[in-house]
Structure 1
Amino acid sequence: MKNNIFKMSALSAAIVVSLSGCGSSDDDKKNSVPLVTDVAPKASDVVVVDLKQWIPVTAEFKASDNDGDALTFSFTENGEEVVAEDGVFTFSHGTLTVEGTSFTYVPMTDDDAVIDYTVNANGKTASAQISISGVVGDPLANQQWHLNNTGQKAYSLSDEMKQGLVNLYVNLFGDTEEEAQADVDASFANAEATGLVAGEDMNVTAAYAQGVTGAGVTAVVVDSGMEIRHEDLVDNVLPNRSLNLNAEALDRTDPTSTSNSGDHGTSVAGLIAAKGWNGKGGRGVAPDAGLIGMNYLGGDKVAQTDLLAHGFPGSGISTSENISAFNRSYGITFPTFIGYSELDEAIESYPNLNLRDGKGALNMKSSGNSFEDGGDEGSLCADNGANDLGLTCYNGAFEPSQGHPYYLSVAAVNANGKHTSYSTAGANVMVSAPAGEYGRFAPAMVTTDQMTCINGYSGFNGGSIAAWAAAYGEEFAASQYPFNYPGHADNASCNYTSTFNGTSSAAPNASGVVSLILSANPDLTWRDVRHILASTSTLIDADNAAVKLTVGEGEFVAHDGWIENSAGYNFNNLYGFGRADAGAAVSMAKAYDVSLGEQVITQWSGVGSVIAEDALALEIPD
């Protein structure tokens, strides 16, 4: 319409000029139509500073149009137009969304960046730039696929590893270099194609986008120890609150392990709450949560160990303190059901029923690593047919602590969103979380390790490095674990590892999500948190099929695959209710208005504890 006005105005002006050439009157001049022009919009550079990686920031475009025309914006990077998908412009360094004359930018790296933008108003344009600088990040965060999966390798499938294998095949097995290279290239190509799938993560950045990073809650790491002075943990460790439960401990507040070949608990702690945005290492799922460590595992302990490790009086944990989770990345592996103890349940239920002013803290439990390996039982998993049938060798519910609701069992998944090779299945599994494989042909976890190259999984004494070095020499060991071997540019002091895995990793990742949930809404009960996890977790590996066996003339369903239970929730013995989704869980926590009613728990039934000829044919209460 304005273009038409401009044309009419121009025509009128031409007529006026023509008439004035013939000598017009003063009245004619007063009645003439003025010239109207549509001017281009204006745009100026925008400067955005002091950002945090993965944390959104909102700013205003410096753009205007004197004619009041509607403004639209377009963007280029390196001369190429960036097209929005679902309203999101994705750059190599971050994402941007537009609302009116404001924009929200999320830096996905810690790099300085420049975005060229063009403002359009009624066909006329002006251009300027958005300059982004001072992004604070963590140097290893972009390799932590469980937080934000871009298809990265997390130091697995490295060029060093590939060359080391080629050399091994040539020198040890007698292959020609061409044969060795072809075999290794094919293995790597298959591993990359099947094992690296972008987007298969816990959607943690969506939780951060809601302003939730774990502040105000504390997670307790009940494990082999915790290095309380670690450079990437120390800022979140509550001073003088950790416990050394060793009988002969000299400092009762320092659970730092004396092992020199890796400390399980230190790596677990990093997954939960390694400090974020400090320019060191990576970051935990809940990077602003507090940490308390207890060295529960190994050695002679004080008599009160089980009570203290569950937050009983004397542990230093008050019933009003906002404890989010006790992480328990340990368990008992035995190929049969283990006797049940009412005393054990009374102890194990204490955090749920008494802490947080009765709202309860959660016990987060690793489901076990016995899907295909019988451990001390040798060839059991091959002999019983589990390996050939693709069934779990052990059942997670064999362990009595995983047979009641006070421990929340967590299974493990890979960077492709599928079951790991080891994660024990069972009806006890509540949720699953990332953990990965062994860090060679598929990613594991990048997390904290004991500091210095003298201690830890990385460094000179790491178990995997020592074993490979003993078998094939130091050079080969260095090639297979380049990040863990001393001298890697990204891990110069060996304070981090890229090979931590197991359901021992899945549990702390889920503990981090629980910490985010309770940071978002401290009024939730422990049952509310379980309900949120069941309601928001992601259904993964949708094609996971049932395993059916022919028994006599009938059929036995040994594994159901995905089912819908009577409450309408999807469930799978491999994954529980699905992989934890931090963003969805935090969103539900913030708006939570569900009443779960009174909890009803049946008494234990002792029938069926011995083998008999006749089937029990008892219904299990739902």
Structure 2
Amino acid sequence: MQPEPQQQASGSPALLQTRVCFCMRLPAEQPSSTAATGPGTGLGAQQGNPAPPQEPSLQVLEEEPYYHFQHRGSRQTSLSRHWGWSLRLSREPQVLWFEQQTVKSRAKRSVSVVPTDPWFPKQWYMNNDISPDLNILAAWSKGYTGRGVVLSILDDGIEKDHPDLAANYDPLASYDFNSNDPDPQPRYNAWDENRHGTRCAGEAAAVANNQICGAGIAYNAKIGGVRMLDGPITDIVEAQSLSLRPQHIHIYSASWGPLDDGRHVDGPGVLAMKAFHNGITKGRGGLGSIFIWASGNGGINYDNCNCDGYTNSIYTLTVGSAFASGRQPRYSEPCASTLTTTYSSSTSSEAQIVTTDLHHRCTDRHAGSSASAPLAAGMVALALEANPALTWRDVQHLVVRASRPAHLQAEDWAVNGVGRKVSHHYGYGLLDAALLVELAQAWAGTQPQRRCSIEALHAPRNIGSKLTVSADTSSCSGRTRSIRSLEHVQVQLSLSYSRRGDLQVALRSPMGTTSTLVSVRPYDTSQQGYKDWTFMSTHFWDENPNGTWTLQLENKGDAYNTGGHWGDKTIHRYHAVLPSPSFPLFGWHLTVLSLLPSGQTCEGDGSFYAHQSSCLSYCPPRSYGRSRSTTHTSRTCARCHHSCYTCQGTSANNCTSCPAAHTFDEDTHSCFSPQGLSPQEGQHRNLLLIVLLLCETSILFAMLSCTFRTAWLCVLAGCAGRCWAGGK
């Protein structure tokens, strides 16, 4: 028989192996005469020819009469069979089958994990462009892409027909609580204000390998969206959003909260708190819903996310932000409740986040802490695919262990009692997706949660300049309440204070770890203090709680600040997975400086600065403290030169630090733009852009509101040259 020439998979002729090489089958019991001779000799069926050498290397299959022969005198490569030898072998009666060997095209069955999406090269935080990135490719190489996991983005809606989301869109993970209908499509307007949810959705679960935009971290997960921020936000709206189909949705991602102005202390209402509790106790068949939250953008206002009742909840997994360089974003809020960090960016020269955008578009300009939480949500989806039995507490344990300080820059990195580095800016560090899924695969689960509460103070105490309160946790070491390893620590605090923002509160554990529960917030001039407010820290994770806990309250502002009391209230308990000594605190109330009536100045001992109708103990960025003089009769916060971020005077040569994307000249104490524009030119261009936008917006508003004449006059007052061209 003569074999047909083989073809490669591509359709081109097969390349025959080096030398003429045949595999043939001989009779199982060979007669004294043989069908073949050794290499280089004739091959025939003549009686009396010597038998072929029975070398083990010639036999292809053990105990099977298949043999491999080579002819040394032939060309090493060929695109056709050797017809001479093929003809001779076909006439050999003792050769039952033969085939000239060819080099076959074979590939290792390893999956290429690098997506082919056109914008994936821009996804620096997951494509190994920087080191370290979030280690997404390594997690994908383990086979985890979020398959079987359902996420929902609680925001301003989701563009469900976006070509990079549609294949993964899940209507059961979606709803519109603003309009009370099942369609979460965002409301469109000229300035695309409702793009937030669509952008967050693409980060977590955009489709991969479809030649559109980039790839989501969990690109095989299902994604939904809840429209709940584009209308009146009530406790009912929040509760309904947080409790949407908890047996279907695994992960809820939220990038919103109270105002990040450094003044508010606010959190979920009664119904939303009930929704959180029901989620972790009943969601996912009792394993617990996963709530992932962005830490907040109030860093520029010296806000602290422990004054946000969503991010400081033990039921939420709070995510901080870092630049690719490892620097802290100016907007990033520090707090003790932040557990981990992913990348994000700002509006400056830093590389930003790639994701889906409204109108079926893509964007590479997504930024802020809003961008960090969906990345973490996608990574947790990979972990849930690796181990669907993880509880909500298991996930937090894994995140602690899968976070690394890496190159993240902060002055407050500290080693806690079990040897882990932790920071108020980054939690336990940069989250590593590959390590997260690896730990998830082998995770055996946590023991049932235990709680212990202690009242540490039973009588009013004057805070003064500093107050220290200690509590022993030996009562938490009993058989039924014994806690050997901590998770969250909560401190529920009640106090009044003349300037709440000047009060710093810190907690020290028996193992020596100090965690700042709230830092100074210079814009918080409230005299309301804290009324049963619960602070939370994750910095004591896995520490042994037994021993003495110390709470320290310190006045970082003026000596005139004093504390007061809320009467005889003693409802102060500490809910935690730790011996949580509750720290009810009281002080004596005195009236001190707060908001200024118009035209009045700050009184007292002269250590306050008047700023925007408030009295501050120091001046915020973009301003400096100007002392009394013959021309200025009061201490005020005066504006820095517009090129400076902080300064010591009004001149461009009085800068002490610069805004983002500007360079500080130490010799001249001035700031320069890297684009070569002077700060004045840059500011004028920005001002012109703002004026034009205001003008066009005003015209649009006038047309929509049917009050064209009145609005037109307003427009002319603001941008006369621009609007006069078409006016009457």
- TM-score scaled by length of structure 1: 0.55
1:235 paired residue number? 167
3-state SS of 2:350 partner = coil
**How far does the alpha carbon of each residue in 1:406-428 deviate from its partner, in whole angstroms, 9 at most, with x for none?**
11111111122332232111111
- Go from structure 1 to structure 2 and tell me whether the alpha carbon gap of 1:289 and 1:606 turns closer, same or farther (over 3 Å shift): farther
Q: Distance in 2 between matches of 1:365 and 1:257?
A: 24
- Go from structure 1 to structure 2 and tell me whether the alpha carbon gap of 1:501 and 1:605 turns closer, same or farther (over 3 Å shift): farther
Between 1:325-334 and 1:259-268, the stretch displaced more is 325-334
1:147 paired residue number? 126
1:535/1:569 contact within 8 Å kept: no
2:235/2:269 contact within 8 Å kept: no
Deviation at 1:251, TM superposition (A): 4.2
User: Are residue 297 (structure 1) and residue 206 (structure 2) matched?
Assistant: no
- Go from structure 1 to structure 2 and tell me whether the alpha carbon gap of 1:103 and 1:331 turns closer, same or farther (over 3 Å shift): farther
- Go from structure 1 to structure 2 and tell me whether the alpha carbon gap of 1:606 and 1:264 turns closer, same or farther (over 3 Å shift): farther
Q: Distance in 2 between matches of 1:572 and 1:291?
A: 32
Which of residues 373, 394, 409 is equivalent to 1:507?
373
User: Are residue 418 (structure 1) and residue 327 (structure 2) matched?
Assistant: yes
3-state SS of 2:139 partner = helix
Which of residues 238, 247, 257 is equivalent to 1:320?
247
User: Are residue 333 (structure 1) and residue 241 (structure 2) matched?
Assistant: no
Q: Distance in 2 between matches of 1:219 and 1:609?
A: 47
3-state SS of 1:258 partner = coil
2:242/2:252 contact within 8 Å kept: no
Deviation at 1:536, TM superposition (A): 1.2
Deviation at 1:532, TM superposition (A): 0.7
Between 1:292-301 and 1:334-343, the stretch displaced more is 334-343
3-state SS of 1:400 partner = coil
**How far does the alpha carbon of each residue in 1:25-83 deviate from its partner, in whole angstroms, 9 at most, with x for none?**
xxxx99x9x9x99989x9999xxxxxxxxxxxxxxxxxxxx9xxxxxxxxxxxxxxxxx
Deviation at 1:577, TM superposition (A): 0.8
1:274 paired residue number? 206
RMSD, aligned CA: 3.9
What is the percent sequence identity of the aligned residues?
26
Which of residues 393, 403, 407 is equivalent to 2:312?
403
2:353 paired residue number? 445
Which of residues 574, 580, 593 is equivalent to 2:425?
574
Q: Distance in 2 between matches of 1:512 and 1:242?
A: 17
Which of residues 245, 253, 276 is equivalent to 1:348?
276
1:518 paired residue number? 384
User: Are residue 357 (structure 1) and residue 265 (structure 2) matched?
Assistant: no
Q: Distance in 2 between matches of 1:444 and 1:604?
A: 47
**How far does the alpha carbon of each residue in 1:136-171 deviate from its partner, in whole angstroms, 9 at most, with x for none?**
x21111111121131xxxxxxxxxxxxxxxxxxxxx
1:310/1:347 contact within 8 Å kept: yes
Q: Distance in 2 between matches of 1:605 and 1:345?
A: 25
1:286/1:515 contact within 8 Å kept: yes
Which of residues 211, 221, 224 is equivalent to 2:153?
221
1:562-601 correspondence to structure 2 within 5 Å: 563-600=414-451
1:46-195 correspondence to structure 2 within 5 Å: 103=108, 107=112, 137-150=116-129
Equivalent AA in structure 1 for residue 469 of structure 2: A
Q: Distance in 2 between matches of 1:564 and 1:266?
A: 39
Which of residues 135, 138, 143 is equivalent to 1:206?
138
- Go from structure 1 to structure 2 and tell me whether the alpha carbon gap of 1:602 and 1:289 turns closer, same or farther (over 3 Å shift): farther
Q: Distance in 2 between matches of 1:140 and 1:290?
A: 21
- Go from structure 1 to structure 2 and tell me whether the alpha carbon gap of 1:204 and 1:245 turns closer, same or farther (over 3 Å shift): same
1:241/1:253 contact within 8 Å kept: no
3-state SS of 2:390 partner = coil
Which of residues 178, 183, 190 is equivalent to 1:253?
183
Q: Distance in 2 between matches of 1:403 and 1:359?
A: 21
Q: Distance in 2 between matches of 1:328 and 1:307?
A: 16
Q: Distance in 2 between matches of 1:405 and 1:614?
A: 28
Deviation at 1:599, TM superposition (A): 3.6
Deviation at 1:365, TM superposition (A): 0.8
- Go from structure 1 to structure 2 and tell me whether the alpha carbon gap of 1:351 and 1:43 turns closer, same or farther (over 3 Å shift): farther
**How far does the alpha carbon of each residue in 1:504-558 deviate from its partner, in whole angstroms, 9 at most, with x for none?**
000110011111111111101011111111101122226x453xxxxxxxxxxxx
- Go from structure 1 to structure 2 and tell me whether the alpha carbon gap of 1:306 and 1:583 turns closer, same or farther (over 3 Å shift): same
Deviation at 1:586, TM superposition (A): 0.6
2:114/2:137 contact within 8 Å kept: no
Between 1:322-331 and 1:272-281, the stretch displaced more is 322-331
1:310/1:350 contact within 8 Å kept: no
**How far does the alpha carbon of each residue in 1:567-621 deviate from its partner, in whole angstroms, 9 at most, with x for none?**
3322111111111111110111111124344242648989999965551434365
Q: Distance in 2 between matches of 1:225 and 1:604?
A: 44
Equivalent AA in structure 2 for residue 530 of structure 1: Q
5+ residue gaps, structure 2, are 1-49, 56-68, 80-100, 471-548, 551-578, 581-728
1:360/1:525 contact within 8 Å kept: yes
Equivalent AA in structure 2 for residue 441 of structure 1: S
- Go from structure 1 to structure 2 and tell me whether the alpha carbon gap of 1:402 and 1:605 turns closer, same or farther (over 3 Å shift): farther
Equivalent AA in structure 2 for residue 442 of structure 1: E
Q: Distance in 2 between matches of 1:609 and 1:506?
A: 41
Q: Distance in 2 between matches of 1:538 and 1:300?
A: 40
- Go from structure 1 to structure 2 and tell me whether the alpha carbon gap of 1:606 and 1:520 turns closer, same or farther (over 3 Å shift): farther
- Go from structure 1 to structure 2 and tell me whether the alpha carbon gap of 1:602 and 1:221 turns closer, same or farther (over 3 Å shift): farther
Equivalent AA in structure 1 for residue 169 of structure 2: V
Deviation at 1:331, TM superposition (A): 4.1
- TM-score scaled by length of structure 2: 0.48
- Go from structure 1 to structure 2 and tell me whether the alpha carbon gap of 1:299 and 1:342 turns closer, same or farther (over 3 Å shift): closer
Q: Distance in 2 between matches of 1:232 and 1:144?
A: 15
Q: Distance in 2 between matches of 1:38 and 1:203?
A: 52
Deviation at 1:357, TM superposition (A): 1.1
Q: Distance in 1 between matches of 2:263 and 2:187?
A: 32
Q: Distance in 2 between matches of 1:44 and 1:250?
A: 73
Equivalent AA in structure 2 for residue 370 of structure 1: G
3-state SS of 1:402 partner = coil
Question: Which one has the bigger helix percentage?
Answer: 1
- Go from structure 1 to structure 2 and tell me whether the alpha carbon gap of 1:340 and 1:143 turns closer, same or farther (over 3 Å shift): closer
**How far does the alpha carbon of each residue in 1:269-298 deviate from its partner, in whole angstroms, 9 at most, with x for none?**
111111112221111111111112111213
2:469 paired residue number? 617
5+ residue gaps, structure 1, are 1-28, 46-65, 67-100, 111-136, 151-197, 375-392, 453-494, 547-559
2:148/2:221 contact within 8 Å kept: yes
3-state SS of 1:357 partner = helix
2:303 paired residue number? 394
- Go from structure 1 to structure 2 and tell me whether the alpha carbon gap of 1:38 and 1:140 turns closer, same or farther (over 3 Å shift): same
Equivalent AA in structure 1 for residue 430 of structure 2: R
- Provide the aligned length of Structure 1 versus Structure 2: 388
1:430 paired residue number? 339
- Go from structure 1 to structure 2 and tell me whether the alpha carbon gap of 1:250 and 1:517 turns closer, same or farther (over 3 Å shift): closer
3-state SS of 2:376 partner = helix
- Go from structure 1 to structure 2 and tell me whether the alpha carbon gap of 1:203 and 1:573 turns closer, same or farther (over 3 Å shift): same
Q: Distance in 1 between matches of 2:462 and 2:407?
A: 36
**How far does the alpha carbon of each residue in 1:4-42 deviate from its partner, in whole angstroms, 9 at most, with x for none?**
xxxxxxxxxxxxxxxxxxxxxxxxx99x9x9x99989x9
